[in-house]
Structure 1
Amino acid sequence: MKQLIECVPNFSEGRRPEVIGAIAEPFKNTPGCYLFDCRADEDHNRLVVSLVGSPEPVQTALIAAAKIAVRHIDMETHAGGHPRIGAVDVIPFTPLRNMTMPECADLARSFGERFYRETEIPVYFYEEAALRPDRRRLEVVRRGQYEALKKEVADPARHPDVGEPRLHPRAGATVIGARKFLVAFNVNLGTTDVAVAKRIAEAIRASSGGLCHVKGIGLALKDRGLVQVSLNVTDHEKNPLYRVTEFVRTEARRWGVEVVETEVYGMVPAAALMSSAEYYMRIAGFDPAQIIELRLLEMMG
């Protein structure tokens, strides 16, 4: 039976439309690879692409897009709000249909070998594809970002999993892995004080003793006169979006700051939104089977 995966590659480019368009082109034109979402952020200086397809065409499109990114992105001059270590910063695979998580992890590792052969960008593996337990968490692999890694890569503790112990001269390194669905969720606050966002991010993220399965950083959105608590929710069933939102709202009010809006960045499972709709609308006895579109998809197989 046909296997399907989701892949959400992140590129360190969010400001030049011509480069963004060129990177996206292979995802649009490779048969068997389907581009679901392509979203660039100028403050983050980052492009997040959401793909679905069979493993081989998705990998083929990724290699083509990576080669374009190498030509146009120079990490020596790159700057932006989001942590990064490379032009093709991270490539996560998620099993969708007829594929287990261990199989997806094997796919990530084999693709990492191919990625290095064809681009000469060294590779680190994370999450379910990690070869070392200390590299399961993405933030650990990206510690210090590109600027620190280019100095520390010669240290055996920071050697790549694939490739020589040095970074690509323009494209840095890439982190490849297999994981569950991740919801990129941002909460924007009505203040220009980025220290507030950073304090809230520290309070909410799991690594600081906050909510499990939540990662967060605080950023300034200078063009909008706001700050942002930028979050990755790695298991929306164990910590749903409404709980994350209310945590941020409660903490923000300590500084007299209100939530202006929230953002879902890229694709999101329907269940992640339905649980919050049920909570805020106080729907009694809600069953996802009541949603017409989901029932139609189930009928269509």
Structure 2
Amino acid sequence: MTPWIECVPNFSEGRRPDVIEAIVAPFRSKRGCALLDYRADANHNRLVVSLAGNPEPIQEALLEAAKVAVAHIDMNQHQGAHPRIGAVDVIPFVPLRHMSMDECVALAHAFGTRYHEETGIPVYFYEEAALRPERSRLEVIRHGQYEGLKAAISNPDRHPDVGEPRLHATAGATVIGARKFLVAFNVNLGTSDVRIAKEIAKAVRASSGGLCHVKGIGLALEDRGLVQVSLNVVDYEKNALYRVTELIRMEAKRWGVPVVETEVYGMVPAAALLESAAYYLQISGFSPDQVIEFKMLEMLGNNTP
């Protein structure tokens, strides 16, 4: 049976359409690698790509895209709201079908070595693929961002897992790992005071005593005159999106600011949305089996030889 994975590489480019299209091009053309979605944000100055398919063609496409990114992105000139340490900032592998988490970990380690050999970029492993317990959290590896890591990488506790203890001259470093499905979820607030977003993110995220399995930072959306609580819900089954939203809404009321809108960035499991829909509609005893499209897909799958 053919193994399937999801991969969500993040690139530090969200403002130049020609560079974005050049990075995405290998994912369009590689047979066996399905380009599900890609989104670029100018405020974050970041490109998030969602892929699915067989591990081999996805790896080949990743290497091609990484080489394009290295050729066009200079981290010494890069500015953006989102934390980052490299032109290709993070590459997570997610098991989807006929692929275990342990196999994804092995894939991340093998790919990380090859990636360094072909690009010269040092690699850190995170989440399930972390070689050091403290590096399971991405924010620990990205502490100080590119500028801080440039000096700190020479310290033994900040050495990369693959490569010499120095950043690539222009592309920085890359974090590669294996993890469960993550929902990138943003809540935009009706104020220009980024301090409020930072305080609310602190109240919500797990590391500050908030909701478990939730990471968050506060950012300014300067071109819109808004601020954003930018979240990663790393286990939506443990903390539903509606619970995260309602906590932020409650905290925002304390500051006298409204929730303007929410955003799902990239792909999201249907179950994550259905749970929140059932909550807000107050549907009693709702089951995903009641969704006709799911039932039809199940029927089609059962009829496939």
**TM-score normalized with structure 2 length:** 0.98
What CA distance in whole angstroms lies between the structure 2 residues aligned with 1:154 and 1:116? 18
Code of the aligned partner of 1:38:
Y
Once the two structures are superposed, the pairs formed by residues 14-93 of structure 1 within 5 Å of their partners are 14-93=14-93
What CA distance in whole angstroms lies between the structure 2 residues aligned with 1:291 and 1:25? 35
Q: Deviations over 1:36-75 (max 9, x none)?
A: 0010000000000000010000000000000000000000
Q: SS where residue 242 of structure 1 aligns?
A: helix
What CA distance in whole angstroms lies between the structure 2 residues aligned with 1:161 and 1:97? 28
Q: SS where residue 68 of structure 2 aligns?
A: helix
Q: SS where residue 256 of structure 2 aligns?
A: coil
Code of the aligned partner of 1:65:
A
Q: SS where residue 93 of structure 1 aligns?
A: strand
Q: Over aligned residue pairs, what C-alpha RMSD do you find?
A: 0.5
Once the two structures are superposed, the pairs formed by residues 41-190 of structure 1 within 5 Å of their partners are 41-190=41-190
Q: Deviations over 1:205-250 (max 9, x none)?
A: 0000000000000001011111000000000011000000000000
Offset, 1:285: 1.1
Q: SS where residue 77 of structure 1 aligns?
A: coil
What CA distance in whole angstroms lies between the structure 2 residues aligned with 1:300 and 1:57? 26
Code of the aligned partner of 1:29:
S
Offset, 1:300: 2.6
Q: Deviations over 1:263-295 (max 9, x none)?
A: 000000000000000000001111101111111
Give the structure 2 partner of residue 282 of structure 1.
282
Q: SS where residue 295 of structure 2 aligns?
A: helix
Offset, 1:299: 2.1
- Matched residues, number: 301
Offset, 1:161: 0.2
Offset, 1:298: 1.8
What CA distance in whole angstroms lies between the structure 2 residues aligned with 1:100 and 1:74? 36
**TM-score normalized with structure 1 length:** 0.99
What CA distance in whole angstroms lies between the structure 2 residues aligned with 1:93 and 1:299? 29
> Where has structure 1 moved over 3 Å in runs of 4 or more?
none
Q: SS where residue 257 of structure 2 aligns?
A: coil
What CA distance in whole angstroms lies between the structure 1 residues aligned with 2:129 and 2:269? 22
